[in-house]
Amino acid sequence: MSLEYIAEHWEDPDDAEAGWFETAVEADDVPNCWPVSPSHWQPMPTPPCQTCDDHGAVGNILTAERCPDCSPPAPTSHPIPTGATGEDDIVQRLRDNADLDAAEDGNPAVIRLEREAANEIERLRRALSDAPAAGDALAVKLPAKLPKFEGSGGEYPSSESYQEGYAEGWNDAIDATIAQQQGEA
């Protein structure tokens, strides 16, 4: 755009030499704001990649390959651990933290990490202590006599002899299964 063009289409081209032009309805052409030079502090955006148009890949959806002209993505400073979930998370964070000795100095991040580790260890200890051992099927045995069914018309027959035999039958089955697993039968 030349100064002559501006002088023809604008009534009063103030500061035309300095590169600032007024926006007015007197302009004949669209757009009536003319870019001259960047006047803000931010750098202009980089032009899009001519090969992939800033998509990062060339080809269609079936044959897409990484664009050879674009720069590769920057590596992350903290790689994501593979397979670290649940209980492994705290172990991974402990391994990654090189400042464990700084807790004596009062580093709050390390103190928080050690507190999380202690809580996780306590949770795992409780989970292991609550788990039944392999031979604890005896503790699950039914009582010698099931409680009497109150009311009529339910699923249980009213005969108490049936209820007593039912509980004893289950206890005998549990004893036989335990004996078979231990090789006594």
- Quick: pLDDT tens for 60-116: 878 888 888 876 555 555 555 555 455 556 656 665 654 555 555 666 666 677 777
Q: Residue 28: which pLDDT band, with cuts at 50, 70 and 90?
A: low
pLDDT tens, 154-168? 455 555 555 555 555
User: 183: left (phi > 0), else alpha (psi -120 to 50), else beta?
Assistant: left
State the pLDDT at residue 100.
54
For residue 93, is it within any domain? yes
Q: Do strands 57-58 and 65-66 pair parallel, antiparallel, or not at all (unpaired)?
A: antiparallel
Would you say residue 81 lies in a domain? no
Task: Kindly state whether residue 98 falls inside one of the protein's structural domains.
Answer: yes
In a domain, 82, yes or no: no
Residue bearing the bigger pLDDT, 121 or 25: 121
Say whether 66 sits in a helix, a strand or coil.
strand
Residue 92: inside a domain, yes or no?
A: yes
- Let me know whether 177 and 140 are in one domain: yes
Q: What is the pLDDT of residue 93?
A: 64
Q: Is residue 80 part of a domain?
A: no
- pTM for this structure? 0.20
pLDDT digits over 131-154, tens only? 555 555 555 555 544 454 444 444
Report which of residues 47 and 30 the model is more confident about: 47
Verify cis geometry, omega within 30 degrees of 0, for the bond prior to 31: yes
The predicted pLDDT at position 165 comes to 52
6 occurs within a structural domain:
yes
Provide the pLDDT for residue 17. 52
Strand partners, 58: 65
The domain total for the chain is 4
Position 28 in a domain: yes
Does residue 172 register a pLDDT over 50? yes
Full residue range of the structural domain in which residue 99 is found:
87-130
